Amino acid sequence: MLYNVVLFLHILGAVIMFMAIAVLALSMLSMVQSKDTENIRRWSGLAVKTDALFPMSTLLILLPALYLVFSAWGWGTAWINVSLAALLGASFLGPVINLRRLKGILAAAEAETDVIPSAVLMNKVRDRVLWNSVFVMAMLAVGILFLMAVKLTLIGSLITMALAVAAGFGLAQFILFKTRPETSVDTVSFR
């Protein structure tokens, strides 16, 4: 009975983390496509608040996971060790990289006086480090979920995490490319 309750809490933590990642990604996509400073202000405010869910979800994942490792699995299981390292790495990205940049976007949006976002604000919204961090974090979470289901050996687990990181970088670059600002034909010089 206790094992099942602890497993439920572990899964609940993962669900909260995936929900937070989804809201954060939606906020970023909405900001990068926004033509209105007020929308960027709203979405960046939501993103800053959402980022606060990551430490709570990490604890909800980690504490039950430790119980599950000690009571059932043991530390000799490769996928558990790789998943733990990936979880701690992803948890590091939130407060160190994401939150600081998201607060910077919010502060810049609050300081804007024009309805149309300035180039400075949009450069903050399109920050490649932020986009890479968020989407690598998202794909690491998917990789961990995959390892929980498939339970690979050390080599398979490491390959899974390498693919997750590469997918995160690739997805971030794809989105930034697809949402790049359009250059008007009127403003292009043909000299």
Mean pLDDT of the chain: 90
Residue 183: per-residue pLDDT: 52
* Contacts of residue 90, Cβ cutoff 8 Å, sequence gap at least 6: 136, 137, 140, 141
Higher pLDDT, 57 or 166: 166
Calculated CA dihedral for residues 144, 146, 148, 152, nearest 10 degrees: -100
Residue 190: per-residue pLDDT: 43
Res. 189: pLDDT tops 50:
no
